[in-house]
Structure 1
Amino acid sequence: MTESVTAPPIRSQGASPPTERVIAVIELLGRNPNKQFSLAEICRTLGISRATGHALLTTLAAHEWVIRDPATAHYSWGPAISALARPANTPLHRGALQALAAATGTQVMLARREGTTLVVTDTVGECPRGPRVWRGMRTPFVPPIGRDYVAWWSTDAQNEWLEAIGTPSRQFKQRMTDVFRAIRQRGFVVERLTHQYVRVYSALRALSADGQVDEITAHLARAYADLAVIDVLDDELIAGATHSVATISAPIRDPDGTAMMTVMAAVFTTLDGDAIRSLGAQLRDSAREIEQRIGADHVVPQALTSD
């Protein structure tokens, strides 16, 4: 038996035929969330040209409304659509942030990914030592920033993300592989506080104010990636060692395992290994609380059955 794939006809008399075609692609993939489609299959099903289909899917994949599998070049339902369907209900999560700020004695934030930028959606508390973070502040989603989200991706997708700022060096790629593994195992990210971090982070934040990641942003991120030691691995949290920490964050994952938001604490001080683990655990617990609240409202779309 072959899987039956149906799609609503594209209404050529609509007010905006190009928009109708985008909607048709999204509806096709949304009705079949567990299936991967080839470009030819999508174009044939929807009755659009290969050139039009390729342009649509390339744009949608760039924003992760669809996912392109590097191994098969097939397309499937993307996590960005799920994130739009479950907005970051700020009042709903405010209690968790307030409790976390009271427990940690510092500013805590909730952020989400929007295309090529990471946006702060809520913030509670104050950090007397570090720069003020405000609601609506944006930073670019470029390596190594945003690894909270990427740690849960496939190896191919991780490599593709790393290559967004140029071919990674062997050392940087190995470090990021170790960092991704550590994030998955312990459930939190540590951002080191260095002079380079403060300067580069401020510049990247300014460059991403309009939501775009341009060539200058990519080059700056690459320079930082080549010069900085990313994260703090577990075997570096040895007794007696201290680390200058800017922030610690934990990913908030939806029921299908995709990281869709992060909860972050502004630290901007020196901590030993035990303090880093303790704060990381608090953030992880807060992230799990938010996940449970989101999961209670989650509805998984059903795939079409076989004929």
Structure 2
Amino acid sequence: MAVARRSPPARRVVAVLDHLVAAGGRGLGLSALARELGISKPTCLGILTELVAAGYLVRDPATLTYGLGPALIAAGRAARRGFLAGDVARRHLEPLAERYHATCTASAVVGDEIMVLDAVVPPGDPPVRVGERYPFAPPVGLMYVLWGPDRELERWLAREPTLPVRMDREHLRAVVEQCRAAGYLVESLTPAGMRLHSLMAGVAAYELPREVRALVGEMVSSLGERVYLGAGLNPRKKHPVNLVAAPAYGPGGEQELVLTLHVGTAVTGAEIARRGAALVAAADAVTAELGGAVPGGTAARPASGKVRTRPSGSR
């Protein structure tokens, strides 16, 4: 397994913050911090200056000591909300996991990465590590911008891809419109494709030689090709499905979480619709419990899979 690259300068920044957190609110001066952390005073001063400018630290002009700043309060609240959201999602995913004997997860974009916030894994299924992270860049992450404004989708598409990807914008637009109308996404991958996509989704993909990245990229489906279009699913025909995904929303109607229900086998179009409706109902319940707002209203979707309409301009 490839090991992600680590940054000594970044580790020093983390060390400064950790040291001040451990100080329990007690301010520390430049000399003391540099000495206790084993870094030079000029380096330490540069780190402190940047953290003060960003609001993560404050400098007492009387004592010339440094302490924790207000930006950490906002960061802490955001982190707390993220983990709270995972706890709430778990309660609503557990019945689905039991009903379908399937792994269910709740994940979200945290910074520049996708993070697994919680998971319900039935006995015998492969484990899922809470806190696992993936780069938020094509071809990974479509479902995290799918139900948000178009500008978020375009911003994600503009990120440097982890692998070379092909993009048929017309097909991708059809995928986006249908998933928004259905309220859920249905993803299909072959077993080999699933394994390859999982292995190559990590940061290590950036480190591959250009020729290898190009070759692997040819083996990975282009954006949108792994998503079934709901209107084209025959209710009686079986379709090999990897997972179903649905969004939970924040207070302003913004996409906040993605809930997934693993399938990993071939099921009929009718069964896909049933599982999609069940997952959407769970996502709506999570939205309500978190004080969020589903675009277009809060009425639950009926079992038929018909959905509420989104307000014009919401995309």
Q: What interval of TM-score do these two structures reach, taking the shorter chain for normalisation?
A: 0.5 to 0.7
Indicate yes or no: 2:273 matched with 1:281. no
Gaps of 5+ in 1: 1-12, 25-64, 66-79, 298-307
User: 1:143 touches 1:225 (CA, 8 Å); kept in 2?
Assistant: no
Match of 1:154 in 2: 149
Structure ranking higher on relative contact order (CA contacts 8 Å, 6+ apart): 1
User: 2:247 touches 2:283 (CA, 8 Å); kept in 1?
Assistant: yes
User: 2:248 touches 2:283 (CA, 8 Å); kept in 1?
Assistant: yes
1:99-248 matches, cutoff 5 A: 99-126=95-122, 131-164=126-159, 165=161, 169=166, 171=168, 173-205=169-201, 207-208=202-203, 214=206, 216=208, 219=213, 222-223=217-218, 224-226=220-222, 229-248=225-244
Q: 2 CA distance for matches of 1:217 and 1:134?
A: 29
Bigger radius of gyration among the two: 2
The number of residue pairs the alignment matches comes to 225
Shift of 1:168: 6.4
Q: 2 CA distance for matches of 1:163 and 1:174?
A: 17
Q: 2 CA distance for matches of 1:246 and 1:199?
A: 11
Shift of 1:157: 3.6
TM-score normalized by structure 2?
0.60
The letter for the 2-side match of 1:142 is A
TM-score normalized by structure 1?
0.62
Deviations 1:113-162 (A, max 9, x none): 2223222222223275x644232333332224322221134334423322
User: 1:98 touches 1:124 (CA, 8 Å); kept in 2?
Assistant: yes
User: 1:247 touches 1:265 (CA, 8 Å); kept in 2?
Assistant: yes
User: 2:187 touches 2:244 (CA, 8 Å); kept in 1?
Assistant: yes
The letter for the 2-side match of 1:272 is T
Of all paired residues, the percent bearing the same amino acid is 24
User: 2:236 touches 2:270 (CA, 8 Å); kept in 1?
Assistant: no
Match of 1:19 in 2: 51
> What secondary structure, in the 3-state scheme, does the structure 2 residue paired with 1:292 have?
helix
Gaps of 5+ in 2: 1-28, 31-44, 57-70, 294-315
Which is worse superposed, 261-270 or 97-106?
A: 97-106
| 2:81 aligned to which of 59, 83, 86 | 86
- Shift in alpha-carbon separation, 1:227–1:196, aligned structure 2, 3 A: farther
- Shift in alpha-carbon separation, 1:286–1:256, aligned structure 2, 3 A: same
Shift of 1:190: 1.4
Q: 2 CA distance for matches of 1:276 and 1:249?
A: 11
The letter for the 2-side match of 1:152 is W
